[in-house]
Structure 1
């Protein structure tokens, strides 16, 4: 019940923000090239501001950030989520110093707030090799949509791509380097460009889709009409 009341107070006070923090938040977001990072940092900073405004007469310093870390731990958030929030707060402190309303000493103190230690092992439903194979095999090999879905699952599992990366993949990004298939010029977080190797079995699934669909340029994966005969070029 106490935890629910805390969550309720954060939600109700979300609009009672402090102008300086909002300005610093904008400055932080402007330094981030990745839209994924901007979305995560904006959420983390907005949550801090909501909590900060719900507490009376607090100064933005190390002790407040320590208290906020304890508050996040009470919410039973994952270690990765809490540490991401703290990373956003450190960036907020730096931009607040650049803005001239937070002293460098206070910013240094905030940056020294340690994150939560990772204990144990990752949790979740991780596919075994056989389960991953069953998932790939589940895609139909008799209709066009099945060939497409099998190729997409193959790249998700074999290359570790995000869904948006698979959907936006262009045919000219599939190349051969020193006898190995790779995906080039993938733009990830922080606008970093990377090259991803493609295992042979995933490449065979992609080749099968291209052969059956007749796709020869542009995006690799297309919307398939409900009838299942021809891809719709977007």
Structure 2
């Protein structure tokens, strides 16, 4: 079964060109599924069936996994079986009639403009790490980058003269994102006075470096932002994605076109971007009540 999983992951990487993070997610989810089958005495995927898959999904639910997580596992399992069916390894797909668990759509946490300002004021650009953190937070809010995209940036993907960054998003799709003058100023400051003092190996291309002079990790970025959120007296649930959500919501509140925001965020489907329109309804109502003569 592990050999078939390796074949599937190779197919996802080579033929579909999925990103490394996506491949890691597939690998983790399917390893858990295969471990469950092994414990159930199943030694061949030909002996698996719909009932076993349903039992596995129920097992995840009993573990306290959210409907979104269970749906993610089912999506990975379904893709795996569809691959095996196309390759002629299986004669039928046991996931064909399975429905994903219903998910409650939760609106993402968004900071107000004032809260964003408070957060961005926390880093003290007096040390190399302070310069890095200030540039990093300003860039996150200026661009709406995912944290994985942020830490993957290399120095040559930032053009301060033309005020944009180039990043590789999900599905290995490249996009060019404009950034404002304030973010450019702090990036320039970091590049001139901070990065070189963190750098240990001149061959390192990463934009944001840790204290070892290597590429800052996603976990490192999360810890940095949580520490500044705590220092600012903001919610402990704030993550790098909170700044992405705030970026999108503030653009829409100020009249940005939904399609433009979709492009900036790198969403393949506009329905993903539309969740932010729900967050702006309250703001629209406030503007209407304040400006319409018969409100």
Please, what TM-score do these two structures have when normalized by structure 1?
Answer: 0.69
1:192 matched to 2:176: no
Report the counterpart of residue 171 of structure 1 in structure 2.
155
- Structure 2 residue aligned with 1:66: 54
Distance in structure 2 (CA, Å) of the matches to 1:130 and 1:81: 33
Structure 1: gaps spanning 5 or more residues: 1-20, 226-231
Contact 1:28 1:92 in 2 (8 A): yes
Which of the two has higher C-alpha Rg?
A: 1
What secondary structure does 2:2 align onto?
A: helix
Alignment partner of 1:208 out of 189, 193, 198: 189
Q: Distance in 2 between matches of 1:195 and 1:164?
A: 16
| Residues 1:22 and 2:2 are matched in the alignment | yes
2:100 corresponds to 1:115: yes
For 1:171 and 1:151, the matched residues in 2 are separated by 13
Secondary structure of the structure 2 residue equivalent to 1:32: helix
Match of 2:121 among 122, 132, 137: 137
Q: Deviations over 1:6-51 (max 9, x none)?
A: xxxxxxxxxxxxxxx3232112211223211121111111111121
The answer to whether the 8 A contact 1:62-1:110 is kept is: yes
Q: 1:219: Cα distance to partner? A: 4.5
Residue 12 of structure 1 aligns with which residue? Answer: none
Q: After superposition, give the CA deviation of every residue in 1:70-129 in whole Å (9 maximum; x if it has no partner).
A: 2222222123221211111012112222443311xx31x413311122214147x65443
Q: Which residue of 2 aligns with 1:161?
A: 145
CA distance in 2, matches of 1:166, 1:63: 42
Structure 2-normalised TM-score?
A: 0.57
Say which of 34, 51, 54 aligns to 1:49: 34
Give every structure 1 segment of 4 or more consecutive aligned residues whose post-TM-superposition deviation is greater than 4 Å: 222-225
The 3-state SS of whatever aligns with 1:183 is strand
Note closer, same or farther for the CA distance 1:114–1:222 as it changes in structure 2 (3 Å cut). same
Q: What is the match of residue 246 of structure 2?
A: none
The Cα shift of 1:197 comes to 3.1
The answer to whether the 8 Å contact 1:27/1:95 transfers is no
More strand by share: 1
Aligned-CA RMSD value: 3.2
Residues 75/158 of structure 1: CA separation in 2 closer, same or farther (3 Å cut): farther
After TM superposition, give the deviation of residue 163 of structure 1 in Å: 4.3
- How many residues are aligned here? 200
Unaligned runs of at least 5 residues, structure 2: 14-18, 197-201, 216-295
Q: 1:40 is matched with which residue? A: 25
